[in-house]
Every structure is written in C-alpha cells, then in structure tokens.
Amino acid sequence: MLLALSALLLTSCGKSLKDIEVTSCKVTSISPKGLSAFDATVDLGVNNPSVQLTITRMNATVKMDGAPCLYLTADDVTLEPRSEQVYILSIHGLLDGNFNPFALLTLLDSPDMDPMTIDVSCHASLKSGLGKDLIYKDIPLKELLGKI
C-alpha cells in the first residue's frame, strides 16, 4: 500500500508533466508505533526530465468495503529538475479506530484486493510557487498495485 501511494502521487503529477516516471519503488523500513501506527521509509526512483516539482501535503485513506481502515501521510519531496534519482520518502500510517486489524491478516492468506480502494490527495508546485491540488477518490487498490 505504501508503494502504491508513493507511485500514485508522483505519476499523478506527471499527467501535466507527462515525462516524469517512477523507475523503482522499495520499502526499506517499517517501524511500529504502538498497536495502531507505524512509520515507513520508501526508496522511490524517479526520472524527471522536466522542471523542479515539489509535492506536499500527501495524504491517503485506504478503505475496505467503503469503510476507512488506514490513514497515510508522507513527508514532502522535491523532484530535482532534469535528473534520475532515488528519493527517500517517509510515510506515516495510522489504523482507523473502528477497523479490525485482523481483517488485514486475512489479506495475507488470500490477497483479494477487490474490496479495497484508496483516496489520495497532495499539492504539486513548481519552483516559482505556482501549484495545484490533486485529489483522487475511490481508486481500486488492485488496479494501482498492478501499475507498480
């Protein structure tokens, strides 16, 4: 899910700057924070042949059967212009208080992603400060993971 979030945010911004592409994505660490939260680090390879782009206010809500189960936020990232680099992305997750975490364990036994969707939002801005809010709702998680 963390990989999907990162890739979606960067490739979504690429719709206006079509040549930006995610070249790799790897979870390098996950640190539990109590029973319902965690921090993770993702190494994200990005080829940006275009201008500098800063992505801020990255948020996502993962839903199972329409009910929120996981909230994700990510630290800001600035894509350097005309470069291919690996960026270290810090992601923070929190399970919804009404969600049964054991439902996630059933996904490990049979990874049926059909009931899972994700809502994603972020703000993408150019070096000049001009930017745009990007909001995507109810993206099937199965579809998103297939693109990574």
Q: Which residues contact 53 (CB under 8 A, 6 or more apart)?
A: 13, 17, 20, 78, 79, 124, 125, 126
Burial 27-52 (b: 16+ CB within 10 A, else e): eeeeeeeeeeebebbbebebbbebee
Find the Cα–Cα–Cα–Cα dihedral 1, 59, 23, 38, rounded to 10°. -50
Summarised one tens digit per residue, pLDDT across range 97-136 is: 888 777 666 655 556 677 888 899 999 899 888 899 989 8
| Total residue count of the chain as it appears in this document | 148
Summarised one tens digit per residue, pLDDT across range 42-99 is: 898 999 998 999 999 999 998 988 999 899 999 999 999 999 999 999 999 999 988 8
Tell me the fold of 2-141. Immunoglobulin-like (2.60.40)
* Pairing label, strands 77-79, 53-64: antiparallel
Distance CA 37, CA 144 (A): 23
